[in-house]
A = this chain, B = another copy of it.
Amino acid sequence: MPHNFPELKNDLFLRALKGEEVERPPVWMMRQAGRYLPQYMTLRKKYTFFERVETPELACEITLQPIDELEPDAAIIFSDILTIPQALGIDVDLVKGKGPVLENNIKTEDDAFSILAEDVPQKLDHVMKAITLTRHELNGRVPLIGFGGAPWTLFCYMVQGEGSKTFDKAKSFLFQHPDAARHVMKELTKATIDYLNAQVDAGAQAIQLFDSWSGLLSPDDFNEWALPYLMEITKAVKGVPVILFAKGSWYALERLSYKSGASALGIDWTISPEFAREKTRNEITLQGNFDPTRLLSPIPEIKKLTKRMIDRFGTQKYIANLGHGILPNIPVDHARAFVDTVKEYGSEM
C-alpha cells in the first residue's frame, strides 16, 4: 500500500525504540492532544467527542495541535481505546463529568459469547484515514504513533459499563465465568491485531498498547488474563516497534521485558527508574514516568524533577514521557517546560 509519505526529518523517537544511540532522549506526552490545550477546547465546543474521533480531518488537526504548540518528538493519532468495543457492537457514550458509558455492556455469559471480531478494520476505517492524512500533514516532522487498548482493559469497560476505581463487576465476571471471559479476550485479541496492523498499513510508524487497568490484577491473574494476550498482539504487529504500557503492573516488568516481544515498556510514576532498569536488565527501551500531577508544580521545580528523571533513567534506551496521560488542568507553559527541559538536556550532553 504505497502512500508516498514525506521523508522523516526527526527519527530520534524511532532510534530510541530500536535501542540505537541518540544525541538526547526523545520526548512526547501521553494524551498530548487534549483538554489542557486551548486550541483543543475550541474544537471541543464545536464537535462531540465521537465527531472529533470519527472525522479524519478533525482527528488529524487535533493530532497536530501539540506538535505545533510544543514540538515533541512524536505524534500520537487522536482516537480512543473504546473504538474496538464499538466495532464489536458495544455502544459507547461519553457523559460529561462521568466519562465513558457503555450501554449494552456484557452482563451474562450469552452476552460474552455473542462478541465476535468481524471486519474490525473496515468498521474503523475512519481511524486509518485519519492516520494516512496525518502522516501527510505531519510532513515528516516527527513519527506518528498508532495505538489500541489491551484486551484486559477493554474487557474491564465492556463488562463494567463505565469507568471504575476497582472494576469490581469486570473482575467478578472474570472469576465467575472464566470460559466466557476467555472467549471475549480471544476475540478482543483478534480484533486488536487486525486493527493495529491496519493502522500500520495506513501509516502508523510505531504502536502503543495501553493496558490501563492491568494493575488491578494480582501477578498470577496478570499472567493468566493479561500477559498472554499482550504477547500475542505484540508479536503479531508487523513491521513497526510496539510500546507496551501495563500501568500499575510493576511486578511484570521482568516478564514483559524478555517475553513480550515489545520494543519498549511504559513505566508509571510509582516505579523508580532504578527498579525499572534493574528488572529489565537495561536491555529494553523504557518510556516514562513523570507524575502528571507534578506538572502543577512551579516551573523551576518541573525542570529540576525532569532533569533528575533523565539522570536516573539515563539518556540511552529511554523516551521521556509522563507516567500517565496529561491532566486537563495543566497550564500549557508547564507542559512546555517539561518538553523543553528534555530537549535542552541534549545540549548539555
CB within 8 Å of B: which residues of A?
A: 163, 165-166, 168, 171-172, 174-176, 215, 217-219, 221, 248-251, 269-272, 275, 291, 293-294, 296-297, 301, 323, 327, 329
Given A176-B297, A327-B168, does the pair A219, B251 have CB atoms closer than 8 Å? no
- Name the CB-closest residue of B to A169: B329
Q: Do the beta carbons of A172 and B296 come within 8 Å of each other?
A: yes
- A172: chain B residues at CB < 8 Å are 293, 296, 329
Contact among B166, B174, B175, B251 with A270 in the assembled complex (CB-CB below 8 Å): B251
Q: Do the beta carbons of B297 and A175 come within 8 Å of each other?
A: yes
- A248: chain B residues at CB < 8 Å are 270
The distance from the CB of A308 to the nearest CB of chain B, in whole angstroms, is 9
The distance from the CB of A250 to the nearest CB of chain B, in whole angstroms, is 6
Q: Do the beta carbons of B221 and A291 come within 8 Å of each other?
A: yes
The distance from the CB of A271 to the nearest CB of chain B, in whole angstroms, is 7
- A249: chain B residues at CB < 8 Å are 270
As for how many copies of this chain the complex holds, the number is 2
Q: Do the beta carbons of A165 and B168 come within 8 Å of each other?
A: no
Q: Do the beta carbons of A291 and B218 come within 8 Å of each other?
A: yes
- A329: chain B residues at CB < 8 Å are 168, 172
A31 vs B273: C-alpha distance when bound (angstroms): 35
- A176: chain B residues at CB < 8 Å are 296-297
A163 vs B176: C-alpha distance when bound (angstroms): 28
What are the 9 A-B residue pairs with the smallest beta carbon separation, nearest first? Answer: A171-B293, A175-B297, A218-B269, A172-B296, A175-B296, A219-B272, A165-B165, A218-B291, A176-B296
The distance from the CB of A81 to the nearest CB of chain B, in whole angstroms, is 16
Given A163-B165, A168-B327, does the pair A175, B294 have CB atoms closer than 8 Å? yes
Q: Do the beta carbons of A275 and B293 come within 8 Å of each other?
A: no
- Name the CB-closest residue of B to A308: B220
A176 vs B297: C-alpha distance when bound (angstroms): 5
- Name the CB-closest residue of B to A329: B172
A172 vs B295: C-alpha distance when bound (angstroms): 9
A251 vs B272: C-alpha distance when bound (angstroms): 8
- Name the CB-closest residue of B to A273: B219
What 9 additional pairs, Cβ within 8 angstroms, besides A163-B165, A171-B293?
A166-B293, A171-B291, A171-B296, A172-B293, A175-B301, A176-B296, A217-B270, A249-B270, A251-B272
